[in-house]
Structure 1
């Protein structure tokens, strides 16, 4: 018999979350109490805003219904491990839900027992994903999760950073926001040594360590982290320049190319410009093809030559 009230309530809540419906007798048997005690415990859950419904019928019973807000969930070890692995995987694959996924992962990993954190890490290290096309460098899920927690908790972090020129340097920063763009992850942080805002690509971060010290948050220049990071990305030096003027509204192009949202600017009614610049010629051509609209191109000669060669191969292949 479960005599400890808090333990019994948690056990009852866990049972209600594992099955669509329970009879009062079944719950009483699982908990080792009377059906009258079950009814009282159900009333306590309702007082805590858990939407427990009573069902009609010969036996009657209870079920946890959908409510106006999401109540706390209780996972067993296997469920917690599966959820953490799924969130870590989704963090690098979902488009449009990356930040939400990371917040959920940070909450879960904060309360995982050490033995389960080890299981999650082992599963993540021993699984792989087959990529059928060239992808941009993917940030380490553990780094994503740790930085998400540091941003949430306003905790100073240190890490080693490799610049685009290959130079390695140690950084000590106040992490403020994570921003996803074009399949890449960026950290917007205030650099303590340089006393200025900096944007870091997560795939170039290594040896991340939390300093266990808090910082006082400060306003982001311009107020919008995504706009600030987009401006820094756009002004960063690249090997090949390519600007497409597309004869379609910006919102329509964004709908088809969500990864390019920060690169698209309205250019009047029914027109927009798309910055396709980059360091990889086939990637630029892929972006231009994905626009699926008529456009004019202002680009370096190397981009134009590669685009012509690609078009000739496509025409030859089509016969």
Structure 2
């Protein structure tokens, strides 16, 4: 069981994480709290080192993580506003004459489709082609919802 010093509990993109020093592996570790099966309380106390930032550590760890999809999209909107809408751990943004080039990592394309659809600016998917189908599927779901009357909802 890992024992921790300098712990940090961080909420990020819908999940809770704990970040701290693992004495068994002698290094910083990050765990999703929902995956921790058991915890043993210890009587030892630890002091966080100066400058330790669990949020910065978590976001840099997640940014280096492996994802199934590498997606490239141009968004036609202001860079600073787009940056405020996207989690920095999974996106890089670069201002270009044609718009803001977004490189994104995603595990699921349906989630990427929802995120892109939530933006208020036009966008174009460069690659891969698979996000286009996820966007079409979402458009079909939204069209069906827009055409469905309350009497057509399941009881």
Fold shared per TM-score above 0.5:
yes
Distance 1:274 1:213, change over 3 A: same
Q: Which residue in 1 is equivalent to 2:25? A: 194
Q: Which residue in 2 is equivalent to 1:208? A: 39
Q: Which has the higher strand share?
A: 2
Task: Check the 8 A contact 1:181/1:262 in 2, yes or no.
Answer: no
Instruction: Report how far residue 234 of structure 1 moved.
Output: 1.7
Task: In structure 1, list runs of 5 or more residues that go unmatched.
Answer: 1-169
Deviations 1:238-295 (A, max 9, x none): 233334332323431354x37x2544544237736363512x3322211111122222
Aligned counterparts of 1:243 and 1:173: Cα–Cα separation in 2: 38
Aligned counterpart for 1:306 among listed residues 134, 142, 150: 134
Task: Check the 8 A contact 1:276/1:288 in 2, yes or no.
Answer: no
Aligned counterparts of 2:3 and 2:62: Cα–Cα separation in 1: 21
Task: Check the 8 A contact 1:172/1:191 in 2, yes or no.
Answer: yes
Deviations 1:104-154 (A, max 9, x none): xxxxxxxxxxxxxxxxxxxxxxxxxxxxxxxxxxxxxxxxxxxxxxxxxxx
Pairs within 5 Å for 1:1-319: 170-219=1-50, 224-255=53-84, 257=85, 260-268=87-95, 271=100, 273=102, 275=104, 277-278=106-107, 280-311=108-139, 313=140, 317=144
The one of the two structures with greater contact order (alpha-carbon pairs below 8 A, sep at least 6) is 2
Q: Normalization by structure 2: what TM-score?
A: 0.70
Runs of 4+ displaced beyond 6 Å: none
Aligned counterparts of 1:237 and 1:307: Cα–Cα separation in 2: 23
Task: Check the 8 A contact 1:246/1:274 in 2, yes or no.
Answer: no
Aligned counterparts of 1:293 and 1:281: Cα–Cα separation in 2: 19
Distance 1:182 1:197, change over 3 A: same
Partner SS for 2:60: helix
Distance 1:175 1:218, change over 3 A: closer
How many pairs align?
144
Instruction: Report how far residue 211 of structure 1 moved.
Output: 1.0
Q: Which has the higher helix share?
A: 1
Task: Check the 8 A contact 1:185/1:202 in 2, yes or no.
Answer: yes
